[in-house]
Amino acid sequence: MKPNKIRIIGITGGVGSGKTEVLSYIKDKYNCTVIFADEVAHKVQEPGQDCYGELIALLGADVLAEDGRIDRTRMAEKIFADGNLLKGVNQIVHPAVKRYILDEIDREKGEGKIDFLFIEAALLIEDGYVNIADELWYVFASEDVRRERLKSSRSYSDAKIDGILGNQLSEEEYKKHCKVWIDNGGSKHNTYEQIDKKLEEYLWQR
Ligand SMILES: CC(C)(COP(=O)(O)OP(=O)(O)OC[C@H]1O[C@@H](n2cnc3c(N)ncnc32)[C@H](O)[C@@H]1O)[C@@H](O)C(=O)NCCC(=O)NCCS
Ligand SMILES: Nc1ncnc2c1ncn2[C@@H]1O[C@H](COP(=O)(O)OP(=O)(O)OP(=O)(O)O)[C@@H](O)[C@H]1O
């Protein structure tokens, strides 16, 4: 039997738009692999991994927690308030994340067992994943809705949300680059219906 051709789909959207929520539904229902760029970014920052030393050299030893790991809250406070530091961090972390993801894609293509491979990242467009994925999906909800969800579920402060939002693309930019738009401003059920419609269509076309 011919191995499946895997469709590679990048999922993007602003902070709190529902990317993780969308993917946890997809992961349970479809024959796919999901890679979360944030998780990979955290992995490559662990002691002993590629980016650890370089990040401390850039940010200072005061970002370290007592156990020697990088304290994410302290790191976020620093980098989302200082564009140059954010740029420096991105230059260190993003190439390592991309290497990891490209290796995973190669591995999955070699095995040929899944129908879809999803890559979730807030920064897919900025980081050139446009060429890596077969297509990009944009998950969106209004800023007010996202702010409310982030405050209640993650206790993010307004200042933290503002800092992150200020470093992300505008709605128009996201929409321009993404072929599929998923409106997650309503109920989860409504969002799931949009996803099923799209993915079932792809499975039928195979
Ligand atoms: C700054 C860090 C330590 C904050 O960690 P924390 O656990 O508090 O938040 P978390 O990782 O969940 O990020 C919250 C959200 O902020 C946004 N965000 C994260 N990094 C960035 C960035 N470099 N630029 C713009 N938005 C970002 C994303 O929407 C993300 O989901 C962490 O985000 C990080 O390591 N960022 C640098 C690596 C990176 O660029 N990751 C993004 C995907 S490659
Ligand atoms: N349709 C929805 N209705 C109600 N709550 C939702 C809905 N979609 C997502 N949420 C909740 O909103 C919060 C943010 O969603 P989620 O974590 O999926 O966003 P994200 O885009 O992955 O965020 P980040 O950019 O930080 O990675 C979560 O607590 C999630 O459970």
161 lines ligand 1 (CB under 6 A): no
Task: Quote the pLDDT of residue 50.
Answer: 85
Residues 6 or more apart in contact with residue 69 via CB below 8 angstroms: 46, 47
Q: Please tell me the number of the ligand nearest to residue 183's CA.
A: 2
Residue located nearest, by CA, to atom 39 of ligand 1: 41
Atom of ligand 1 nearest to the CA of 167: 25
Going by the annotation, the residues of the binding site for ATP are 16-21
Task: Quote the pLDDT of residue 123.
Answer: 85
Superfamily covering domain 7-205? P-loop containing nucleotide triphosphate hydrolases (3.40.50.300)
Residue located nearest, by CA, to atom 30 of ligand 1: 15
Task: Quote the pLDDT of residue 4.
Answer: 62
Helical (H) or strand (E) element with 127: none
Q: How far apart are CA 85 and CA 158, in angstroms?
A: 21
The domain ranges of the chain are: 7-205
Task: Quote the pLDDT of residue 18.
Answer: 97
Task: Quote the pLDDT of residue 14.
Answer: 94
Residue 70: both structure tokens together: 């990088």
Atom of ligand 1 nearest to the CA of 79: 1
Helix axes 72-79, 52-59, angle to 10 degrees: 50
Residues 6 or more apart in contact with residue 176 via CB below 8 angstroms: none
Task: Quote the pLDDT of residue 1.
Answer: 43
Strands of 32-36's sheet, edge to edge?
32-36, 116-120, 7-12, 135-140, 180-183
Question: Which of 21, 36, 38 for a ligand 1 pocket mutation test, highest count of atoms within 8 Å of Cβ?
Answer: 38
Task: Quote the pLDDT of residue 127.
Answer: 80
- The residue type of 185 is G
Task: Quote the pLDDT of residue 41.
Answer: 95
167 lines ligand 1 (CB under 6 A): yes
Tens-digit pLDDT profile for residues 178-187: 999 999 999 9
Beta bridge mates, 118 = 9, 34
Q: Which residues of the chain, if any, have pLDDT below 70? A: 1-4
